[in-house]
């Protein structure tokens, strides 16, 4: 039933989808910006545009009458102009529409398949962005809060430290993190610190519950739920965050009702609810890694702690948690990245206290920045040396001999068997 539901709800182009106009001709497309633009690897702006109308420009420079269209476009445009855009803004862009790339066997390429899963069936290479008059940004929006936090944390930390702190607070998909830093953390097996998921949600809930520890359990649960709703909105509705937040709400419900929570049942319930809402998220790499890593923690950490009972419990925990997550996610890492970080467990054991310090500081700074940006900047500035130390550790581990092992040829059935 689940497989059939996933197929039935697979994205399909609308009858008037803008992808039908893919050609070498230039078009003017008017539409609404879906999300905050970010920087691509080739130093251009990238964003999604919900198309509303299209008109072509003939060889004689006469403008055709606009036609109503629908669908979503993945747009790359000049960076300077893209940075002026905001979600909900209606703009006109001039350029060429291209269909999603296919291999010789008619199979979508990796990036083309990703866009297809997002309900986007065409790309647009924009040469010009025309800003329509009479539009004013909303006075309040979650993206404005997110931008307020990022600006406050970046004020005195600068790049890349400021953006790294924001990524460790809100997740890298919500922050325009430089690619060299992102690639360095991924190569070291430290990508989970940049992907808002269970680790971040746990720290955030611990911080909120600590602030309300003298209040009744129901008050703590309400405060935790409100914090979760705000955090999910600030991170941009990422499936891994939603999964962790649903499990967090289950734990808060158990706190309010004074009942024990079964983690395995909570994980199954969270995954089921998410895939009922959007079954295409089952193909999301972050969601897969989040679910499998959490499953590994639930089933394996206690056993590892018993094997490491000769060590102090806190030190044993620093090794048991990354080892459990690492072992369970190896098949998926090889399937998607074909590279296995050799020193990932050791790096996680060494740097976890540092990551906790930076992440908690980032949450406190973000809360302060929402109220008063200057205070948020002051708190963030105190994290400069811990952040630089973390960057240094990641770079040093990446330079060690045999820091990664490349394994090609891993396929989906290998993952299922393992």
Average pLDDT over residues 92-97: 93
Stretch among 93-97, 164-168, 324-328 having the lowest mean pLDDT: 324-328
Which of 23-27, 233-237, 268-272 holds the top average pLDDT? Answer: 268-272
Q: What percent of the chain has pLDDT over 90?
A: 40
Residue 1, in any domain of the structure: no
Average pLDDT over residues 334-351: 84
Q: How far is CA 397 from each of CA 195, 306, 328, 418, rounded to the nearest angstrom?
A: 20, 29, 22, 28
Q: How far is CA 91 from each of CA 7, 100, 288, rounded to the nearest angstrom?
A: 34, 23, 35
Q: Are residues 104 and 248 in the same domain?
A: no
Which pLDDT score, from 0 to 100, does residue 192 have? 80
- Dihedral pair phi/psi, residue 180, rounded to 5°: -65, -40
Query: How confident is the model over 385-405, as pLDDT tens digits?
Result: 999 999 999 999 999 888 888
DSSP 320-344: HHHHHHHHHHHHHHHHHHSEEETTH
Which pLDDT score, from 0 to 100, does residue 265 have? 92
Q: Are residues 105 and 173 in the same domain?
A: no
- CATH number assigned to the domain comprising residue 21: 2.40.50.140
Q: Are residues 121 and 147 in the same domain?
A: no
Contact between 82 and 43 (Cβ < 8 Å): no
Q: Are residues 152 and 127 in the same domain?
A: no
Residue 291, in any domain of the structure: yes
Which pLDDT score, from 0 to 100, does residue 126 have? 94
Q: Are residues 233 and 104 in the same domain?
A: no
Which pLDDT score, from 0 to 100, does residue 375 have? 95
Contact between 291 and 243 (Cβ < 8 Å): yes
Query: How confident is the model over 38-70, as pLDDT tens digits?
Result: 999 899 999 999 999 998 876 444 556 788 999
Which pLDDT score, from 0 to 100, does residue 108 have? 62
Q: How far is CA 205 from each of CA 100, 208, 281, 293, 318, rounded to the nearest angstrom?
A: 41, 5, 25, 19, 20
Query: How confident is the model over 309-323, as pLDDT tens digits?
Result: 888 887 787 788 888
Residue 200, in any domain of the structure: yes
From 131, 153, 171, the end of a domain falls on 131
Average pLDDT value for the chain: 87
Total domain count, the chain: 2
Whether residue 134 is predicted with pLDDT greater than 90 in this model: the reply is: no
Q: Are residues 107 and 224 in the same domain?
A: no
Which pLDDT score, from 0 to 100, does residue 343 have? 87
Q: Are residues 121 and 151 in the same domain?
A: no
Which pLDDT score, from 0 to 100, does residue 329 have? 86
Which pLDDT score, from 0 to 100, does residue 224 have? 92
Q: What sign does the dihedral 303-307-311-315 (CA atoms) show? A: negative
Q: What percent of the chain has pLDDT over 70?
A: 96
By residue range, what is the domain housing residue 297? 143-417
Tokens read off for 377: 């900047």
Average pLDDT over residues 210-220: 89
- Greater pLDDT, 263 or 192: 263
Whether residue 277 is predicted with pLDDT greater than 80 in this model: the reply is: yes
Q: Are residues 160 and 55 in the same domain?
A: no
pTM: 0.85
């Amino acid at each position: 039933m689940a497989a059939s539901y996933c197929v039935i709800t697979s994205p399909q182009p609308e009858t008037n989808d803008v992808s039908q106009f893919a050609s070498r001709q230039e078009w003017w497309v008017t539409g609404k910006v879906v999300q905050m633009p970010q920087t691509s690897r080739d130093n251009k702006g990238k964003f999604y545009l919900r198309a509303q109308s299209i008109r072509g420009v003939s060889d004689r420079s006469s403008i055709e009458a606009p036609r109503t269209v629908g669908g979503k476009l993945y747009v790359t445009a000049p960076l300077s102009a893209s940075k002026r855009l905001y979600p909900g803004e209606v703009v006109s862009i001039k350029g060429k529409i291209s269909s999603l790339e296919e291999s010789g066997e008619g199979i979508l390429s990796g990036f083309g398949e990703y866009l297809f899963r997002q309900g986007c069936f065409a790309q647009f290479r924009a040469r010009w962005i025309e800003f329509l008059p009479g539009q004013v940004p909303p006075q309040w929006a979650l993206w404005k809060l997110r931008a307020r936090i990022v600006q406050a944390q970046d004020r005195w930390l600068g790049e890349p430290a400021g953006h790294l702190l924001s990524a460790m607070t809100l997740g890298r998909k919500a922050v325009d993190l430089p690619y060299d830093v992102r690639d360095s953390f991924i190569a070291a097996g430290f990508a989970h610190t940049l992907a808002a998921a269970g680790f971040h949600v746990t720290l955030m809930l611990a911080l909120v519950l600590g602030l309300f520890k003298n209040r009744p359990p129901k008050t703590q649960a309400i405060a935790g739920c409100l914090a979760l709703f705000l955090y999910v909105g600030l991170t941009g509705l990422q499936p891994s965050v939603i999964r962790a937040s649903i499990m967090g709400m289950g734990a808060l419900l158990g706190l309010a009702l004074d009942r024990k929570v079964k983690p395995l049942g909570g994980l199954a319930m969270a995954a089921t609810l998410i895939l009922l809402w959007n079954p295409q998220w089952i193909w999301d790499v972050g969601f897969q890694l989040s679910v499998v890593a959490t499953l590994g923690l639930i089933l394996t950490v206690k056993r590892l702690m018993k094997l490491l009972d000769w060590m102090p419990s806190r030190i044993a925990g620093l090794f048991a948690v990354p080892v459990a997550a690492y072992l369970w996610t190896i098949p998926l890492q090889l399937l998607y990245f074909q590279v296995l970080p050799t020193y990932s467990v050791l790096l996680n054991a060494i740097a976890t206290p540092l990551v906790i310090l930076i992440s908690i500081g980032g949450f406190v700074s973000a809360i302060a920045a929402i109220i008063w940006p200057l205070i948020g900047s002051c708190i963030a500035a105190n994290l400069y040396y811990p952040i630089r130390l973390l960057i240094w550790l990641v770079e040093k581990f990446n330079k060690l001999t045999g820091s990664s092992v490349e394994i090609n040829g891993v396929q989906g059935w290998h993952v299922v068997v393992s």
